Structure 1
Amino acid sequence: MGTSERAQDGDGGDDGGAASVVADDGVRLWAVRETDGPAAPVVLCHGGPGLWDTLQTPAALLGARPVVRWDQRGCGRSERRGPYTVARSVADLDAVRRGFGLERTALVGHSWGAQLALFYALAHPDRVSALVYVAGVGVDAEAAWHPGYEAGLRRGLGPHLARWRELRERPAAQLTRAEEREMCVLQWSADFPGPDALASAEAMATPWFGVNQECNRTLNAEARSLVASGGPLERCAALAVPVLIVDGARDIRPRSAVDSLERALPHVTRTVLPEGGHLPWTEDPEGFATAVGAFLDGVAAV
C-alpha cells in the first residue's frame, strides 16, 4: 500500500507542505498537498512522460479546493527508478490517492497526464469522482494526429527550427545539461501561441530537473500500443465517471484527435478555449478556472 510521510531534506524542494508517498514496491514519489478545505480533493497529473509537475498555475486556479500535485516515477523530485509501464503508473497514482487518505478523488490530467488519468479511471472507476482531461490526444492511433502535430511544431518553432533540429539530431548522451534544457525550451515554446512563447517555455523549464528519456520512450511506446489495440476506446463506453474535456483551440496537436473519445464517453462535457494553446490556462486563465471550477462544483453537488 502507498503511504505518505513528511519529506526528508531534499525530497520536497521548496514546498513547505511536501510529503513523500511510498509506492507499493518501495519507490518514493514526491508529492505535495496544497490548501485544506471542505471541497472535494483533486489530484493533478502532469504531462510528459518523463517530465515533472509543472501544474502550479492550474492548481492555483482551482481556488480554495484542496489539490495534490506529484512527480511521477523517475521524474523530477521522485526516485529515479523503474519499471516504467502504464500499469505501474496507474498503481503509483493509486498510491498517491491512498497516501493522502482519499477514498475517492477528482483527477485533473494534462497532456500525457490526461491519458494517465483516463487509464486510471478505466481501471478504478469507483475511486474517481470526476475526470478533467486537458489537452490530451485521445484514444485513436497516433497516425491520426501526429503528422498534424509535426507540422504545427515546425510552424511554432519558426526562427528556432534550425537550432532545435541541430540539438535534436545529436545523440542524447552527447548533449550537455544546458543543451538538453535549451532543446526542450525551444520545443515547448511551440506549445504557447503568442509573443511570449519563449518566456513561457523558460518558466516551464524552471526549475530544471532533466527529462527521463527512458521513461518517455518506454511509456509512449506502450501507450501507443494500448491505444492501437482499441481497448481503451471500447472501455470508455462503459465509464460512469463524469468527464470534462478541455481543449485549447490553438494547440499544435489537432484537437480532432479527441473527437472519438468525446463520442465514446457517456457522461462528457467539452470546453474549447479559443485562444488557448497546449497549456490553455496560460492564455485564458479565467476561462480555464471557470470551466473546471463549474464542472467540479457541479459534480460535488450531485
Structure 2
Amino acid sequence: MRVRPGQTALMIWTGSESETESVTVTADDGVRLWASRSGRGVEPLLLCHGGPGLWDMFEDVAAMLADLATVIRWDQRGCGRSERCAGPWTTDRFVADLDAVRRHFGLRRITLLGHSWGARLALAYALAHPGRVNALVYVAGTGIGPYTDWHPAYEQNLLARLGRNPEHLARWHELKGRAQLTEEEERERALLQWSAEFADPERGMAYARRMADPWFGVNAECNTSLNAEVKRAADVHRACQALAIPTLILDGAHDIRPRSAVDSLERALPHVRRVTLPDAGHLPWFEDPQGFRQAVHDAWA
C-alpha cells in the first residue's frame, strides 16, 4: 500500500490508533520531560526522535505500530513539550534522560527505535545499557564513521533536492542568510529544508507541513552543541563489535544523507539486518508506511 496524493501515513492507519496517555517524567537533575504511552501491543517500544533540537514527530508511527507494541514517545530535554532548560546538551545527558523515561514507565527492558539524530542516541543508549535493550531499530542514521564521510555529500544533495523548485531554493538561501528570523520565518525555513527530505517532489511540502504541525520551535542551542559533539565523536567501532543486541538498520534509498555512511555501522555490528525502502527518503514511514511497518514488525520475528 502506498500513500496517495494528499494523504499522510496516519490516514492509512486510523484503525490502529489507541488512547494516548501523556505524562511528565522528571530526570535525575529535576528537568521535566514530556512523554506519552499508547498502543495495545505487549512489547514496549521506545522511540527517539531526530534533531537535535526538534521534538517527537512519531504520531503516525505510534498509530501504525499500535497493535504490535506499547509505544513510548518523548520530547528530548529543552525541546517541544519538555521543559525549556539550559541543557546540558550532551549525548551522555540525553542517554540519562532516556533511562529516566524507561524507569518512569516501569520497563525492565525495551526495544529502541531511533530516527536520524535519534538513531545515534538510541545506539549510544544500547552501548551504555545493553542489558536493558531487547532490540534496536536504527532508522536513517549516519553510521559511526567520521562526520566528513557523509556531511559534504549531504550538503550537495540538499541543494540539489531544493533546486527541484528554484523559488524554494532562492527563498531558503535568503532565510538562511539572515542573522535573525521571526518565528514564522524560522518555520518557513524548516518547511523548505524538510521538503527536501522526501523522494517525491510533489508531496514533499505537504509532508513537511505535517511535520511542523504542531510547531514548537527549534532549540538552536541544543542543535549547535550536539552537532558539534557529533563532529568530534569518539570511535565506537570496538564497542559496536561487542554489541550482542539484534539490530535492524532501516533506510530510505532516496535519503539525501549518503547511505554508504551507514556501512561502517553495518560492518561493525555482529547481529544486524538491513532493509532499504526503494521509494522513500529520510522519513520512510511517510512515503512507504507499509514497508516501514513490515520491516519493524519483522524485527520482532
Does the 8 Å contact 2:39/2:63 carry over to 1? no
Matches within 5 A, 1:52-201: 52-64=55-67, 65-81=69-85, 82-158=87-163, 159=166, 160-171=168-179, 174-194=180-200, 195-201=202-208
1:42 matched to 2:18: no
Partner of 2:35 in structure 1? 31
Partner of 1:237 in structure 2? 241
Partner of 1:17 in structure 2? 21
Partner of 1:7 in structure 2? none
SS in 2 for 1:66: strand
TM-score under structure 1 length normalisation? 0.90
Partner of 1:4 in structure 2? none
Cα distance, 1:294 vs structure 2: 1.3
Question: What is the rounded CA distance, in whole Å, between the counterparts of 1:23 and 1:36 in structure 2?
Answer: 26
Cα distance, 1:129 vs structure 2: 0.4
1:254 matched to 2:258: yes
Aligned residue pair count: 277
Does the 8 Å contact 1:86/1:223 carry over to 2? no
Deviates more, 1:253-262 or 1:146-155: 146-155
Cα distance, 1:16 vs structure 2: 5.2
Give, as a single letter, the amino acid of the residue that structure 1 aligns with 2:246.
P
Partner of 2:15 in structure 1? none
Question: What is the rounded CA distance, in whole Å, between the counterparts of 2:51 and 2:210 in structure 1?
Answer: 16
Q: Deviations over 1:117-170 (max 9, x none)?
A: 000000000000000000000111111111111111011112211110111111
TM-score under structure 2 length normalisation? 0.90
Give, as a single letter, the amino acid of the residue that structure 1 aligns with 2:113.
V
Question: What is the rounded CA distance, in whole Å, between the counterparts of 2:238 and 2:161 in structure 1?
Answer: 34
Cα distance, 1:223 vs structure 2: 2.2
Question: What is the rounded CA distance, in whole Å, between the counterparts of 2:246 and 2:207 in structure 1?
Answer: 32
Give, as a single letter, the amino acid of the residue that structure 1 aligns with 2:161.
G
Give, as a single letter, the amino acid of the residue that structure 2 aligns with 1:191.
E
TM superposition outliers: structure 1 runs of 4+ over 6 Å: none
Question: What is the rounded CA distance, in whole Å, between the counterparts of 2:184 and 2:237 in structure 1?
Answer: 40
Question: What is the rounded CA distance, in whole Å, between the counterparts of 1:224 and 1:40 in structure 2?
Answer: 35
Question: What is the rounded CA distance, in whole Å, between the counterparts of 2:263 and 2:65 in structure 1?
Answer: 26
Q: Deviations over 1:152-207 (max 9, x none)?
A: 10111122111101111111xx2000000000000000001111101110110110
Partner of 2:274 in structure 1? 270
Question: What is the rounded CA distance, in whole Å, between the counterparts of 1:151 and 1:234 in structure 2?
Answer: 31
Partner of 1:288 in structure 2? 292
The two structures, once aligned, show a CA RMSD in angstroms of: 1.0
Give, as a single letter, the amino acid of the residue that structure 1 aligns with 2:101.
V
Question: What is the rounded CA distance, in whole Å, between the counterparts of 2:146 and 2:226 in structure 1?
Answer: 15
